[in-house]
Structure 1
Amino acid sequence: MSQLTPLTCKNLQSSSPTISKLRSIPKFSLPPKMAPPPPPHLTATFLLLLLPLLLTLSFPTTATPSADLLNELENLQSTSPNGVIRLNDNLLRRIISLPRPRPFSLLIFFDAAQLHEKTELQLPTLKSEFAIVSKSFIQNNKESSNPPKIFFFDIEFKDSQKSFGLFGVNSLPHIRLVLPHVDNLKTSDLMDQGDFSRLAESMSEFVESRTKLTVGPLQRPPMFSGKQIVFLLACLMICAPFALKKILAGQTLLHDYKLWLFGAIFVYFFSVSGTMHNIIRKMPMFINDRNDPSKLVFFYQGSGMQLGAEGFAVGGLYTVVGLLLGFVTHGLVKIRSVTFQRFAMAVALIVSFWAVKKVVYLDNWKTGYGIHAYWPSSW
């Protein structure tokens, strides 16, 4: 292999055009000397200060606990058919842990399934009336631009005994109103026991008087559905020709005087026995004795309550007096025997006196007020 001498290389450089062009390429100089990096502890401090800002810009702002719980309650209310939310210990704990004043109020109906069989408490009826108030409030205020925030709850004793203890509930029926500023649940507004007699109307007035909100007209379900009304109208149209034929022939019960006689007696008994009072308040015929559950109580001592048996007893005594009076004035005068007339008059007076005496005695026993005879000293 031949070796290139220095002369040969020199000649090659001078004769090659490519090498001449390479000489014309500018030379690149080295960059200036760079500054030294900052100390590591300053870099870490800067990153720690910048981290909160980066997290704020990277993630959306989370809602407050009050807003989260409010949205959850609104969802639960919308899924309930009547707007009543089932309350439990966990949900109540979350509600009372919110900062006061809370953004909403609570109306709570305390229930116990094992007491539904006690008719004197009327828990199923009161619960359905509570649902009517809830549904009416939601329907009447749903179109408002700023609907008032009050939620209706029911709570079961078997599932939430701790919550019953927080409110100090020891008897039913029981309804509580927890306003936004209330801290101690035992000091929340309690609905008076005497107000339950008017059912949903009393509950509505209780809410309006304590919260200054408007419940609006109560929207009760109709007595008959649309299909039932159509069926009744169809039956009426089918029976109308036959009924008209009987009426024109005078062969209906309305043409029988006995029906009117028994109807008059029934109306009289219905009025004097307080049956309408028992129907409106759904009073039971009797209750169990609190001291001895094996015994039944037919007469309740106290003017604030009347059982169905009481009303029937008083109505029966009044009806006996009325029937005797009607017999004496309309039947006895047609009998020719004077002896029988005198005997019947004496029996009617004695029985009527006994019946009135029993009514007066019962009134004295229930109310504690006595009725005394008054004899004038002079005429």
Structure 2
Amino acid sequence: MSPSSEPAYLAAPGIFYRLGTPEDLPEILRLERSAYAPDESASAKQMEMRMTQASQLFMVALEGPEKRLVGYVTSTASSYPTFTYGSMHAHDPVGTLVCIHSVCVEESHRHRGIATSMLRAYVRMVPTTYPKVEKFALICKQHLVPLYTKAGFELSAPSEAAKTLALSQRFPSNVIQLTEENVEHVLSGWISSPVFSSRCPDANYMRNHGKIQLAKVLREYDLASTTYAAHLKGTPAEGSVVFAVMEYVRDRELFGRLGVTSLPYMSIVPPSQPVTADHPLSLSPSQIKTDAGYPWMAETIVSWVAEVSGLPAPPIERQPLVSPRLVPVLTLLVVTCLGYAGFRLAQQPLLQRREVYAVGALFVFWFSFSGGMHNIIRGMPLMYYSKRRGGLQLFMKSTGQLGAEGYSMGTMYILAALSTAGLVHVLPKVQSAAARRRWGFLLLGVAVFAMRVLMTTHSWKTNTRPQWYLFL
């Protein structure tokens, strides 16, 4: 927006204006943070730069004899013909375009015409403090357009941010497909809002890769995007978060320009990071999501976006697989079918035999014990001496042990139990005393061997020692 040729206006009653000074910065930063969302407010470093390098473009509004600061307008100059990214973070002392960044009024003083009066006074004052000015420009949210038109500005064209928001609405799930043609517009075009970009290759062989699970992650990413779009629609924060993806097969050069070196990858691209052919993207570790909890669910993505942007995290609403009204009917149907199937199976001659039940019981016993030991071993850290590295090596839980020994321990337990059962229930029925003696020693030896293997493995894998007790 740019100001029209309306005459200058006097200050609001009881308000007067002057150029800002470094002593005003603490109060200015307080007003900035109370008036703008965390992802839109200027940092202390930016404000200090504007105050020191563009002080002739920094105006404050003071009230009453105590000269209480109740508002301010801050700008930088640019040599570009339109409002650009660079003008937010640098001041060109010979620029002729004054780019207005912040127009802020104390909350208790709003709706009194102070902002309108302050803008009109600012347009009148700047030519006297900065004679190079030829034009004023600013960008604003749609709901603030009436404020600036009332202050004498004219609507010129949609901002780059508005164009990016409109572009996102043309894609399914509001997720922009980044390409060589639009990446500079999408990422560098943002003036006041960050772009969150999840970047993964999209080749078929990688889409179906079991560990990457790209198709699943992209579905969750789409869900997070549509949730944010619906949650922010019609609010002042609409368009403050835009999701984008890119494909490795089609635009693999983008991966190098945007600094993607490993997968999985998701990052925030803030307005402070231009992306041009001559200026590759450079992000700090805090702006790149770690792979913890991968594959990311929509709830994880939304929480991370909220954490780094300061916006509220909207709840994820997933469509149920079955309508709640059908759940009782389906439950009754499943129970009836299972009951009927069980009844018919129980009538089969094979299931009437005791041997089948015995084998089934042994299998359940073996599987439950083996599975339990598998989980215990998997959850134990492992330390062993590495000849190759010449020292002890520690593996934390779930990283160094597969837990397969749990199934061998289950087998040993079954062997010991069957040997003991043979000693107690089968051996007394043998008529020959010599045969009972031979078989008794054999079964006892098998049981002792199985228990020794079982205890040794348990002590080795869990780092615990068994305690033996003898009762007489």
Q: Does 2:410 match 1:319?
A: yes
Residue correspondence of structure 1 range 120-131 to structure 2 within 5 A: 120-131=211-222
Structure-2 separation of matches of 1:139 and 1:67: 17
Contact residue 232 and residue 238 of structure 2 kept, 8 A:
yes
Partner secondary structure for residue 165 of structure 1: helix
Contact residue 175 and residue 245 of structure 2 kept, 8 A:
yes
Structure-1 separation of matches of 2:175 and 2:234: 19
Contact residue 196 and residue 203 of structure 1 kept, 8 A:
no
Alignment identity in percent? 18
**Residue aligning to 2:291:** 193
Q: Does 2:260 match 1:169?
A: yes
Letter of the 1:69 partner, please give it.
T
Q: Does 2:182 match 1:91?
A: yes
Letter of the 1:152 partner, please give it.
F
Residue correspondence of structure 1 range 75-114 to structure 2 within 5 A: 75-76=169-170, 79-80=171-172, 82-98=173-189, 101-113=191-203, 114=205
Unaligned residue ranges in structure 2 (runs of 5+): 1-153, 275-279, 379-393, 429-435, 468-472
Instruction: State which of 355, 358, 363 in structure 2 corresponds to 1:262.
Output: 363
**Residue aligning to 1:206:** 304
Letter of the 2:197 partner, please give it.
L
**Residue aligning to 2:162:** 67
Moved more, 352-361 or 128-137: 352-361
Contact residue 148 and residue 213 of structure 1 kept, 8 A:
no
Q: Which has the higher contact order (CA 8 A, sep 6+)?
A: 1
Letter of the 1:130 partner, please give it.
Y
Provide runs of 4+ in structure 1 moved above 6 Å: 225-231, 247-256, 359-363, 372-375
Post-superposition offset of 1:227: 12
Contact residue 109 and residue 127 of structure 1 kept, 8 A:
no
Structure-1 separation of matches of 2:446 and 2:262: 50
1:205-253 deviation per Cα after TM superposition (whole angstroms, max 9, x unaligned): 3223222223333334434579997995696487488469769989997
Post-superposition offset of 1:320: 1.7
Give the alignment's TM-score, normalised by structure 1: 0.56
Matched residues, number: 281
Structure-1 separation of matches of 2:348 and 2:305: 56
Partner secondary structure for residue 185 of structure 1: coil
Structure-2 separation of matches of 1:150 and 1:116: 26
Q: Does 2:432 match 1:340?
A: no
Post-superposition offset of 1:157: 0.8
Instruction: Point out the structure with the larger strand share.
Output: 2
Contact residue 320 and residue 352 of structure 1 kept, 8 A:
no
Post-superposition offset of 1:164: 0.7
Q: Quick one: structure 1 residues 244 and 329, their matched pair in 2 at CA, closer, same or farther if it must change by over 3 Å?
A: closer
Pairwise CA RMSD of aligned residues? 4.8
Structure-2 separation of matches of 1:302 and 1:325: 32
1:158-212 deviation per Cα after TM superposition (whole angstroms, max 9, x unaligned): 1222221123222211111223334473315111123316644443332232222
Instruction: State which of 371, 379, 402 in structure 2 corresponds to 1:310.
Output: 402
Letter of the 2:313 partner, please give it.
V
Moved more, 194-203 or 242-251: 242-251
Residue correspondence of structure 1 range 196-235 to structure 2 within 5 A: 196=294, 199-224=297-322
Moved more, 169-178 or 120-129: 120-129
Contact residue 459 and residue 466 of structure 2 kept, 8 A:
no
Partner secondary structure for residue 271 of structure 2: coil
Partner secondary structure for residue 200 of structure 2: strand
Specify the structure having the higher radius of gyration (Cα): 1
Structure-1 separation of matches of 2:243 and 2:301: 12
Post-superposition offset of 1:111: 2.6
Unaligned residue ranges in structure 1 (runs of 5+): 1-58, 278-300, 364-370
Contact residue 192 and residue 271 of structure 2 kept, 8 A:
yes
Q: Quick one: structure 1 residues 164 and 261, their matched pair in 2 at CA, closer, same or farther if it must change by over 3 Å?
A: same
**Residue aligning to 1:116:** 207
Give the alignment's TM-score, normalised by structure 2: 0.47
Partner secondary structure for residue 85 of structure 1: strand
Q: Quick one: structure 1 residues 221 and 321, their matched pair in 2 at CA, closer, same or farther if it must change by over 3 Å?
A: farther
**Residue aligning to 2:387:** none
Post-superposition offset of 1:274: 4.2
Moved more, 64-73 or 170-179: 64-73
Partner secondary structure for residue 207 of structure 1: helix
Instruction: Point out the structure with the larger helix share.
Output: 1
Q: Quick one: structure 1 residues 144 and 63, their matched pair in 2 at CA, closer, same or farther if it must change by over 3 Å?
A: closer
1:245-297 deviation per Cα after TM superposition (whole angstroms, max 9, x unaligned): 7699899979984545534443444444349x9xxxxxxxxxxxxxxxxxxxx
Partner secondary structure for residue 182 of structure 2: helix
Contact residue 200 and residue 263 of structure 2 kept, 8 A:
yes
Q: Quick one: structure 1 residues 358 and 156, their matched pair in 2 at CA, closer, same or farther if it must change by over 3 Å?
A: farther
Partner secondary structure for residue 402 of structure 2: helix
Structure-2 separation of matches of 1:95 and 1:357: 62
Contact residue 324 and residue 348 of structure 1 kept, 8 A:
yes
